Amino acid sequence: MQEILAKILAKYSPNEAEIIQKAYTFAEQAHTGQKRDSGENYIIHPLSVAQILADFNMDHETVSAGLLHDVLEDTKTTPEILEKEFGTNITFLVRSVTKLHHVNYSGEKNYIENFHKMILATAKDIRVVLIKLADRLHNLETLETYKGNKERIAREALEVYAPLASRLGMGELKGIMEDYAFPYVYPEEYKNLLDFVKDQIAENKKYTERIKPTVEKILKENNIRYIRLSARAKHLYSLWRKLKKYDFNLERIYDLVALRITVPDIVSCYETLGVLHKYWQPLPNRIKDYIALPKPNGYQSLHTTVFCEESKITEFQIRTEEMSKNADYGIAAHWSYKESKNPLAKKYSWLHQLSEWQNQDLNSEDFWENAKIDFFKDRIFVYTPKGDVIELPEEATPLDFAYAVHSDIGDKCIQAKVNGKIMAITHQLNDGDIVEIITGKNQKPSQDWLKFIKTSKAKTKIKERLRLTS
- What is the b/e burial string over 343-367, where b = at least 16 CB atoms within 10 angstroms of the residue's CB? bbeebbeebebbeebeeeebebebb
The whole-model pTM stands at: 0.76
pLDDT value at residue 340: 43
Count other Cβ atoms within 10 Å, centred on residue 81.
16
Its CATH class, for the domain covering 187-327, is alpha beta
Q: From the CB of residue 294, how many other CB atoms can be counted at a distance below 10 Å?
A: 18
Q: Burial-class residue 340 by CB neighbours within 10 Å (0-12, 13-18, 19+).
A: middle
Question: Which residues in the chain land under pLDDT 50?
Answer: 105-108, 336-346
Q: What is the pLDDT of residue 380?
A: 80
Handedness of CA 293, 296, 298, 300 (dihedral sign): negative
The reported pLDDT for the residue numbered 341 is 44
Q: Residue 336: how many CB atoms within 10 A of its CB?
A: 9
Q: Is 296 helix (H, G, I), strand (E, B) or coil?
A: coil
Q: Is residue 119 within 8 Å of residue 160, measured between CB atoms?
A: no
Considering the domain 2-182, what is its CATH architecture?
Orthogonal Bundle (1.10)
With a CB cutoff of 8 Å and minimum separation 6, the contacts of 1 are: 43, 44, 47
CA–CA distance, 144 with 213 (Å, rounded to integer): 40
- Among 278, 258, 265, 260, which Cα is nearest to 218's? 278
Return the active site residues: 73-74
Buried b (16+ CB within 10 A) or exposed e, 296-334: bbbbbbbbbbbebeeeebbbbbbbbeebbebbbbbbbbb
Residue ranges, comma separated, of all CATH 1.10.3210.10 domains in the chain are: 2-182
Q: Is domain 377-469 classified as CATH 3.10.20.30? A: yes
pLDDT of residue 344: 45
What residue ranges of the chain are covered by domains with CATH 3.10.20.30?
377-469
Do 277 and 246 meet the contact criterion of CB atoms below 8 Å apart? Answer: no
As a whole number of angstroms, the distance between CA 373 and CA 371 comes to 5
In the chain, list all ranges with CATH 3.30.460.10.
187-327
Q: Which amino acid is at 268?
A: S
Amino acid type, 126:
I
Give the sign of the dihedral formed by CA 149, CA 151, CA 155, CA 161. positive
Note whether 168 and 297 are within 8 A (CB): yes
With left for phi above 0 and alpha for psi between -120 and 50, is residue 423 left, alpha or beta? beta
Q: In this structure, how many other beta carbons lie within 10 angstroms of the beta carbon of residue 376?
A: 17
